Amino acid sequence: MFKPHGKHLIGGEWLAGDQTFASSPSSGEAHDFSVGRVSDVDAAAQAAELAFWSYGYSSAEERATFLNTIADEIEARAEEITEIGCQESGLPVARLQGERGRTTGQLRLFASHILQGNYLDRRHDAALPDRAPLPRPELFMMQRPIGPVAVFGASNFPLAFSVAGGDTAAALAAGCPVVVKGHSAHPGTGEIVAEAILAAVRKCGIHPGVFSLIQGGNRQVGAALVQHPLIKAVGFTGSLAGGRALFDLCAQRPEPIPFFGELGSVNPMFIFEGALTNRGNEIAKGWAGSLSMGAGQFCTNPGIAILMAGEDAQKFTETASAALAETSAQTMLTDGIASAYRDGQRRIASTSGVREVLTSTCNQRDATPYLYETTAKNWLANEALAEEVFGPLGVIVIAQSSDEMRDVALSLQGQLTCTVHIDDEDTPNAARFIPILERKAGRILANGFPTGVEVSDTMVHGGPYPASTNFGATSVGTLSIRRFLRPVCYQNLPSALLPEGIQADELS
């Protein structure tokens, strides 16, 4: 059985702080962990900068081996990770096992991706000495790593969006050392994953400053991390309020840096008339399952369903309510998240023009589903209804016409996903919506549910603000590596001074 020692990992050394905080597991024994300090941030950033001078110029083969070794070391600790992850988060064993597979899969995917070399976007313009009126010099361009990166662990994914999650995997693949601020919801899980990374560092002979973990417990650490002059970018998954505060700090630095925050989304579903008539019950049951999956604690949780008024809409509401009523209480990730869920439920319930369809009672850290209904007119008039409620709560929005449904689409803020449920007869009407949804979301689905994000070359997990703080980026998939690279042009440099892999004969 794994017993945490509660220390930070900084520059290859486990270091204790002078203050501790106790974990708050959903089951099992609580453990003490060192509270992060501003001095820990400085030490970790300094170590990362030292590591960059070797790691940032290592070969793709070396980094791929490192990423694969991290995955191996995580798998070697599989049972211990699952045990403490379940205790801390309350997530079931199968969920933790699947998330561990996603975590190691991301690492291996990036290892394969960088070996292909396409992510470097290498370009070459041959010299044109005889061009009139002016000659052209020889030009090369390729993507280069930006330097040390800060990563904030997410509360809802103890593995896949945390210490060795997608942000860390992408940054390490790019050649950037990483300083992680661990989430206080699962510090023991973070510690054991950090042990796996340290083992890989030692096996591969990597500079130990390439990775550091500073445990939570102190909000000043997050501010110090994003403001440290050696940190060149930030990856964050979390609340809109917390992410926006860190984003503003990044922008206010003497040297502003990019803040890649994935913040919040209600992930609306538009159910068109043909699909509602032909498959309304099926869609309603599927929505209820997606809405309550993992106690609704997914950033792609589809909280809003928009459909046309009529008997089919009434049947949809009844079916969804019956399906949600059968959902048992589920443990939420933290006491704070459970409290915020109850606050969000009260906010929706107290909004004028909202009808209660299904109510329940949440106790302490448990979550049960809620379902509400309102009109499109009322939804458009109440901005509070468009704010995310992190948990298994759904709002059905009833429109009187297709134009009113379209008005709802036009009013949306940025989303991670938007979904259309359509049958063949709905295609002409749906075609009016797609250009709108393209401007609102990073991923558009048809006849499915957005929970479950594929880790692949084509995935976009991001979108216009407030879904994310950088609409040109994704936090999932191989394209996410571009967040931690920048293009450099080399003019008339001799081959001996060009980076490896960019010589003219290699690009021809």
Which position among 49, 83, 262, 273 bears the catalytic label? 262
Please pick, among 299, 362, 404, 418, the residue that the annotation labels catalytic.
299
Task: State the sign of the Cα–Cα–Cα–Cα dihedral 399, 401, 406, 407.
Answer: negative
- Nearest to 466, CA basis, from 302, 168, 245: 245
Contact 47, 110 (CB under 8 A): no
If you count DSSP H runs as helices and E runs as strands, how many of each does the chain have, helices first? Answer: 16, 21
Could you confirm whether 262 is annotated as catalytic? yes
**Burial of 328 (C-beta count, 10 Å sphere; 0-12/13-18/19+):** exposed
* Token couple for 315: 């049947």
Please give the Cα distance from 115 to 108 (Å, whole number): 11
Residue 152 dihedral angles phi and psi, to the nearest 5°: -105, 125
Q: What are phi and psi of 405, to 5 degrees?
A: -60, -40
CB distance 178 to 162 below 8 Å: no
- Give CA–CA dist 27/39, Å, rounded: 33
Write the burial class of residue 175 (CB in 10 Å: 0-12 exposed, 13-18 middle, 19+ buried). buried
Q: Distance of CA 322 to CAs 283, 294, 295, 418, Å?
A: 13, 19, 17, 24
Q: Give CA–CA dist 183/153, Å, rounded.
A: 5
**Cβ 193 vs Cβ 74: under 8 Å:** yes
Contact 75, 104 (CB under 8 A): yes
Read off the amino acid at residue 146.
Answer: I
Does residue 250 have an active-site annotation? no
- Strands 415-421 and 32-34: what pairing? unpaired
Buried-state track 247-259, b at ≥16 Cβ within 10 A, e below 16? bebbeeeeeebbb
Kindly list the catalytic residues.
Answer: 262, 299
